[in-house]
Chains A and B, each alone.
Chain A
Amino acid sequence: MNTLDPRIQRLNLKREANGETQTNSHLVTYEVFHQEKRGKQAVHAGIVHAPTPELALMYAKEQYGRRGKTANLWVVKTSEVYTFSSEDEDVFETVPEKTFRDPAFYKVRDRIEAFKLKNTQA
C-alpha cells in the first residue's frame, strides 16, 4: 500500500484483500442517560452498542461524558424501554387546555380589590 500515513504503513494491509463483509454481529443497543450535576435530572443523551452493561457504561463515559461535567451516567437496554406509539400522540392533545391545573388560572386579585373598595365605601 502506497500511503503517507506511517501508522498505515506498519499495518499488515494484505489482510484487506478479500474485503469480505460480516453479518449479524450486532452488539446490544443501550440508551444512555447523562446527569450533569448532583441534584439534576438524568437526560437522554444517545445510544451505544456494547456487549454488557459494564462495557456500555465504559463507552457511555467516553461518548457522552468526555466534555464538560458529569455526575453520573445510566445505561438501559433499548429493548427494556417502553414508549407510546406515535399514532397515540392524540392522547396528549387536550392536556394543554386543562388550565384548571395551572397556577396562572387562579386570578383573584380583581375580586379582592373590588371587595376592599366596597368595604371602604360602606
Chain B
Amino acid sequence: MSNAVKELLYKMADDALIIGHRNSEWTGIGPMLEEDLAFSSMAQDKIGHAIALYTILHEVLGEADPDTLGFKRTEKEFKSCHLVEQPIGEYDFSTIRHFLFDHAELLRYESLTQSSFQPLAQLAKKVKGEIKYHVMHADTFVKQLSNGNEESKARMQQALNNTWHLALGIFEAGEYELELTSNNIFIGEAELKKRWMEKVTPLLESYGLTIPATDESKIAKGGRKGYHTEYLKPLLDEMCEVTRTDIDAEW
C-alpha cells in the first residue's frame, strides 16, 4: 500500500512545488501592487504544501528529506502534470491556470480530509482554508476579467481554450488508482475529474465563457509517469542552479 500512497503524495507535492515556483515568478512584476501581493502569497502557500507533503514522504514513508526531494531529483523523477510546468505567459494564462488548478486542488483536499491515511487527512484539514482562499481569489478575479471589456473577454476565452486540455491532464490516472480507492485513501482521479467538471463548467459559463469541446486525444498526459514537456528540465536546472554549485554545502 505504501507505493500507492507514495504515488499520490509525489504527484501532489510536485504539482504544488512546480506551480508555486512558476507563480512566484510574478512576484514584483504583477499587474498591480495589491494583486502582486495576493499572487505571491498563494505561490508561497503552494510551496508550503509541497514541503508538507515531502515531509510526510520523509517522516512517514522513509523517503529522502524535503530539500533533497525538491532540489536533487531528476526531471524523470518528477510526477507533476504538464499544466503546472508551462511558463507564466501573460496574466490571462496565469489566472486561468490558477482557476482550473485550484478548483481541482480544493476538491482534492476536501475529499482527502476523509482519507484513511491519517497524515494526509490531517494535512488536508489544516490547509483547506488556504486553498479555499485561493479559489475565492480565482473566482473573483476570473469573473471580473471575463466581464471586463472586449479585450479582456477575448483574452480569457483564448486562455481557457489554450489551457483546457492541459488542465484535464491533472486527472491522468496513476498505477494505483484501484488500491487508493478500495482502501479509502483517495477518491481516485476519475471521480475527482467528475466533481471538477461539475464545479467549473457552470461557473465558467456564468462568467460568459464557453467551455472548449474535449478531445480525448489532446489531453496532456504523461506527467504522472515522468514524461514532461520541454519546460520542466530548464525549470529544474534553474531552480537547482545554486544548489548544484556546491552540492554538499549547507545553504
* A and B, direct touch (CB closer than 8 Å): yes
Q: Are B34 and A52 in contact (CB under 8 A)?
A: no
Contact of A39 with B by CB under 8 A: no
With beta carbons under 8 angstroms apart, the residue of B35, B37, B140, B238 that contacts A6 is B238
- Closest B residue, CB atoms, query A55: B140
Determine how close the nearest CB of chain B comes to the CB of A5; give it in whole angstroms: 10
Contact of B25 with A by CB under 8 A: yes
Question: Chain B contact residues: over half helix, strand or loop, or mixed?
Answer: helix
- Closest B residue, CB atoms, query A63: B37
| A contacts with B, residue count (CB < 8 A) | 18
With beta carbons under 8 angstroms apart, the residue of B34, B87, B133 that contacts A10 is B87
With beta carbons under 8 angstroms apart, the residue of B25, B133, B144 that contacts A55 is B144
Residue from A6, A50, A55, A63 having most chain B Cβ neighbours under 10 A: A55
Contact of B41 with A by CB under 8 A: yes
Determine how close the nearest CB of chain A comes to the CB of B68; give it in whole angstroms: 23
**Chain A residues whose C-beta falls within 8 Å of the C-beta of B88 in the assembled complex:** 10
Q: Are A49 and B141 in contact (CB under 8 A)?
A: no
With beta carbons under 8 angstroms apart, the residue of B25, B41, B141 that contacts A66 is B41
Q: How many angstroms between the C-alpha atoms of A10 and B94 in the bound complex? A: 15
Q: Are B141 and A55 in contact (CB under 8 A)?
A: yes
Given contacts A48-B34, A49-B34, contact A62 B144 (CB under 8 A): no
A residues 41-66 touching B (CB-CB < 8 Å): 48-52, 54-55, 58-59, 61-63, 66
Q: Are A63 and B133 in contact (CB under 8 A)?
A: no
Question: Chain A contact residues: over half helix, strand or loop, or mixed?
Answer: helix
Per-residue CB contact flags for chain B residues 137-158 toward chain A (1 = under 8 Å, else 0) read 1001100100000000000000
**Chain B residues whose C-beta falls within 8 Å of the C-beta of A10 in the assembled complex:** 87-88
**Chain A residues whose C-beta falls within 8 Å of the C-beta of B29 in the assembled complex:** 7, 11
Contact of B60 with A by CB under 8 A: no
Contact of B32 with A by CB under 8 A: yes
Q: How many angstroms between the C-alpha atoms of A11 and B38 in the bound complex? A: 21
Q: How many angstroms between the C-alpha atoms of A52 and B148 in the bound complex? A: 12
Q: How many angstroms between the C-alpha atoms of A35 and B197 in the bound complex? A: 37
**Chain A residues whose C-beta falls within 8 Å of the C-beta of B40 in the assembled complex:** 62
Determine how close the nearest CB of chain B comes to the CB of A9; give it in whole angstroms: 10
With beta carbons under 8 angstroms apart, the residue of A7, A27, A49, A58 that contacts B38 is A58
Q: How many angstroms between the C-alpha atoms of A55 and B142 in the bound complex? A: 11
Q: Can you list 5 pairs linking A and B with CB atoms under 8 Å apart?
A: A27-B32, A55-B140, A58-B141, A59-B37, A63-B34
Q: Which A residues are closer than 8 A to B by beta carbons?
A: 6-7, 10-11, 27, 48-52, 54-55, 58-59, 61-63, 66
- List 16 extra interface pairs beyond A27-B32, A63-B34, CB under 8 A: A7-B25, A7-B29, A10-B88, A50-B34, A51-B144, A52-B140, A52-B144, A55-B141, A58-B136, A58-B141, A59-B34, A59-B35, A62-B40, A62-B41, A66-B37, A66-B41
